[in-house]
Amino acid sequence: MKFLRELFRKNFSTLLTMFLLVAVPLLGSSSLLLLLYERQQLLQHLSVAQQLLYFVVIAITMAFAITPTTFVAIVTGYYFGWAGLAGMVLAYALASAIGYELAQRLDHGKLRHFLHLFPKAEAVLNELQHQSWQLILLTRLSPVLPFALMTFVLAIVGVPRRRFLVASVVGMLPRSLFFYWLGTEASDVLTLLRDPDQGALSKTVLIGLVAASLFGLLFIFNRALQKALRRGATENS
């Protein structure tokens, strides 16, 4: 209880931001669904300059949790086809960079400083940093873990920037390519956006991605915990 009280007292702004990064995508996707319903021709026949602007805009909206990444992949695949795939990947990279910088500026290292008061928690976090490549890949692999929230969390725990950006893009590719493909094959984008896991194949892929991410993360956290405990026991002996 003391840990939780101190955590909320000293990191209220950080925790509030994390909450908003979960809640805002729900509002954003609902608003964009309504916009596409009223103006389904909005993203058709764009000029090159307008297409570039589109990818910059979606990078910003993903970074600030206004649009879920699944939503973006489906819409981009539907309206741009495979020609827009490179733009979407670059938008993911830009969104990751913006989100990382935002988290660093909002948190100012407060969470890491707070964990100095709790050596065991800090020891586990230090072990996780040694496995940050796998950690980033697995968090990005799951379609149910919010993109902006995971960016914020990984940034404030001290994952190196370059490794974070590269692993984020690589980890996003499997699920993003699947949803992008769904977008290119869709006859009605609004129906697909309302229920992206329709069909046996979609359900199988989604369950597989979530399971791989979940069990992988559990394995990494358990290994980090065991190493931290062994190191603590060695130092105390």
Segment 78-134, tens digit of pLDDT = 889 999 999 999 999 999 999 899 888 876 666 666 655 666 666 767 777 777 888
Q: Is the pLDDT of residue 196 over 80?
A: no
Q: Are 52 and 205 in contact (CB under 8 A)?
A: no
Band (4; pLDDT cuts 50, 70, 90): very low
pTM of the model: 0.77
Long-range contacts of 220-223 (CB under 8 A, 24+ apart): 220/128, 220/131, 220/134, 220/135, 220/138, 221/124, 221/128, 223/127, 223/131
Q: Is the pLDDT of residue 6 over 70?
A: no
Q: What is the dihedral of CA 123, 136, 132, 65, to 10 degrees?
A: -60
Q: How far apart are CA 78 and CA 91, in angstroms?
A: 16
Work out the percent of the chain whose per-residue pLDDT is above 70: 70
